[in-house]
Every structure is written in structure tokens, then in C-alpha cells.
């Protein structure tokens, strides 16, 4: 079954121009790495009561760009009645944020450094992505962000095949006017049964430089375990001609703040399928971790993590341990109501 689901997911991705995004990454990387980090933490109450490596900032989070807002799809299950405007305001103040690290890739299986090399999922990774989908099958998803790499996109697509809402994820092609025109959907009913998928190189795994493609054990034997551990787990020391976690965080967190956080502010439920280091960077921002705390943060492949964005704060809920985990939905009335409506519909 996993192979059949994978076949459909890969078919949906074949037309996607993620390679052009990687080229753009190389062209823009020097500019993105100059982004300052001292203004990353907003004074709007995102703090979880811990000191933040990113410091403080005064900001107003604006609405997302026109490109993203045009792809918005309203979920009838969550849509409030037109007469109840106060309820609309309440609902827009709460949203779900799901983070999923991609499943095992073919190079993970071979114990190779992967970084920004575009390698697909292994058979185990396919199973992990499907299991991740089961765990979030009753959590609302209105918008999906992935990296520009195929293993993250496969994970997102495979996960959504398990969602009870049965909406179809559609990759947005905004790389040119022609791409936009050719990928238009002209049925409003079809749009309502679709989920926009936005791929961004800023969410890519950190670039491992000259380690990419090398066997991890052989590299440790050659350079020493301590040196390799420093390259892999330090915050600000990059591998040769690669990115440090700090450099990865600059681009990933900036993208999250500019493109994803505004969507949550409008009440959209967002899923991000990405990589160990880009997601660690985002979690560092959400949980206000220090540079020392984030280097010890481990994320399992294919295990979703849930946050609730409410009243300007990100509240970490951990990982749903199963497809019917009651504790996840008991946390907010909105999630409980969503699950109840799905039960009634299906």
C-alpha cells in the first residue's frame, strides 16, 4: 500500500520545479545570511517565559503576500455562520501549527551526509510519512509549507493521503506568470476541496558543504569524532564551505516570521514539512530556546509536533501519540469541535 500511495504522491510532484528553487538558494544565500537576528522575538507575547537567543523586537505582523492570500481555501467544517461575527473573531485568534520532519531518505539509510542534495524517501521513510498522516488525520490543515527538497514534499503529500478531510494538496507554481496561468483552478468547488502547498528553499536542510555525500562513519574516522560532532551539533561552527545552525536559523526563522506567522494570525491552520535543522531553528524561535538549548534538541523523523497559536502565543502540545489521541483535541474547544464534525461527516 505504501508503494501505491508513494506512486500517486510522486506523480503529483513531478512537475514541480524545486531545482530552480535550489539555484535561487545559491544566488540569494549570501544576502539571506546577512539577516540580523537581534530582532527575531516579538513583543506581542510570543515568549514562553524563557530567555530567548533572538532577543526582543517591536513589530506588527502584517498579512501575507498577495501570492499566498490568493491561494487561501476556506474549510466548510470550520467556517462560522455569517450571523455570528463575534465567533468569527474568536476563531481567528486560534490556529494549529503542525511540524513534521521528513521520513528517512535513501541517503539516511546509507548513513550519508545529505544536506541540500535532493534525495527521495526510502521505503521506511514512506511508511513514516503515512504514519505521521494518521497521527494528524483529525487536525485541521488549511495551508502547507514545505522545503524545496523532494523528501520533505513527499512527506507532506503522503501524510495528507491519510487525512480524514480528504482534501487534495496542490503545489502552487508562482515562479513565473506563465506557471501561474497554466496551473490555475477554475472550479470554486474544487478549490474548496484543495490545500495549497508552498515550497520554499528557506526551509531547506542546512547546507553541509563538503560533507555532502560522505559517509558519516568514514568522515568521523578521517577527521575524528570530536571534529565531526562539532560540525554537526555546534550552533555557530559550519562544516567546510557549509552552513552552521545559526546561518540556517537566520533564513528559516525569517521566512517563518514573514510568510507563515501572518497566516496563523488570520486563523489558518498550517502544516510545515521540512528538515531537522530548519525545524529546530523554528522551534528555537517558538519555544524561546537559547543557542545552548537548541543544540541538544532532537527531532524524530516522521513524528508530527503540534503547537496552538492563540492570543499571540505559541503553546507547545508535543506530539500526538496516535490517530485518535484525545489529549490533543481536549486542549481547545475548536479542535474538539473539528474532530466531532469529522466524526459526524465520515
Catalytic residues: 102, 205
266's CB contacts (< 8 A; 6+ apart) are 63, 64, 92
Yes or no: say if 232 and 281 are a contact pair by the CB < 8 Å rule.
no
Q: How far is CA 107 from CA 112, 115, 268, in A?
A: 5, 10, 34
Backbone angles phi, psi at 11, to 5 degrees: -60, -40
Both ends of the chain: CA-CA distance in Å? Answer: 22
Burial 258-297 (b: 16+ CB within 10 A, else e): ebbbbbbbebbbbbbbbbbbbbbbbbbbbbbbeeebbbee
8-state DSSP, 43: T
Yes or no: say if 119 and 151 are a contact pair by the CB < 8 Å rule.
yes
Yes or no: say if 24 and 177 are a contact pair by the CB < 8 Å rule.
no
Q: In this structure, how many other beta carbons lie within 10 angstroms of the beta carbon of residue 77?
A: 16
Burial 126-143 (b: 16+ CB within 10 A, else e): bbbbbbbbbbbbbbbbbb
8-state DSSP, 209: G
8-state DSSP, 322: S
8-state DSSP, 213: T
d(CA 211, CA 115): 8
Q: Which residues is 143 bridged to in the sheet?
A: 270
Amino acid at each position: 500500500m505504501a508503494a501505491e500511495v508513494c506512486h500517486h504522491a510522486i506523480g503529483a510532484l513531478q512537475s514541480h520545479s524545486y531545482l530552480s528553487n535550489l539555484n535561487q538558494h545559491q544566488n540569494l544565500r549570501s544576502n539571506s545570511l546577512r539577516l540580523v537576528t537581534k530582532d527575531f522575538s516579538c513583543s506581542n507575547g510570543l515568549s514562553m517565559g524563557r530567555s530567548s537567543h533572538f532577543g526582543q523586537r517591536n513589530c506588527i505582523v502584517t498579512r501575507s503576500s498577495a501570492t499566498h492570500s490568493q491561494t487561501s481555501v476556506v474549510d466548510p467544517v470550520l467556517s462560522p455562520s455569517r450571523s455570528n461575527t463575534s465567533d468569527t473573531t474568536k476563531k481567528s485568534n486560534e490556529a494549529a501549527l503542525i511540524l513534521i520532519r521528513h521520513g528517512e531518505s535513501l541517503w539516511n539509510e546509507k548513513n550519508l551526509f545529505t544536506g541540500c542534495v535532493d534525495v527521495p524517501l526510502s521505503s521506511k521513510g514512506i511508511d513514516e510519512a503515512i504514519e505521521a498522516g494518521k497521527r494528524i488525520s483529525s487536525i485541521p490543515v488549511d495551508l502547507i509549507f514545505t522545503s524545496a527538497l523532494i523528501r520533505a514534499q513527499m512527506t507532506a503529500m503522503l501524510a495528507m493521503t491519510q487525512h480524514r478531510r480528504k482534501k487534495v494538496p496542490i503545489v502552487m507554481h508562482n515562479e513565473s506568470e506563465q506557471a501561474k496561468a497554466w496551473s490555475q483552478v477554475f472550479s470554486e468547488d474544487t478549490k474548496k476541496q484543495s490545500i495549497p502547498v508552498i515550497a520554499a528553499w528557506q526551509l531547506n536542510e542546512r547546507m553541509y558543504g563538503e560533507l555532502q555525500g560522505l559517509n558519516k562513519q568514514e568522515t568521523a574516522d578521517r577527521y575524528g569524532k570530536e571534529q565531526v560532532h562539532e560540525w554537526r551539533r555546534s550552533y555557530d561552527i559550519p562544516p567546510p564551505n557549509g552552513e552552521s545552525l545559526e546561518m540556517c536559523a537566520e533564513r528559516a526563522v525569517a521566512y517563518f516570521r514573514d510568510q507563515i506567522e501572518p497566516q496563523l494570525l488570520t486563523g489558518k491552520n498550517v502544516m510545515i514539512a521540512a528538515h531537522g535543522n530548519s525545524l529546530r531553528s523554528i522551534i528555537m524561535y517558538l519555544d524561546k530556546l537559547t543557542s545552548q538549548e537548541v543544540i541538544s534538541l532532537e527531532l524524530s523523523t516522521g513524528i508530527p509536533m503540534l503547537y496552538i497559536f492563540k492570543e499571540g502565543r505559541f503553546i507547545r502540545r508535543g506530539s500526538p501519540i496516535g490517530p485518535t489521541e484525545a489529549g490533543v483535541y481536549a486542549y481547545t474547544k475548536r479542535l474538539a469541535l473539528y474532530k466531532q464534525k469529522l466524526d459526524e461527516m465520515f
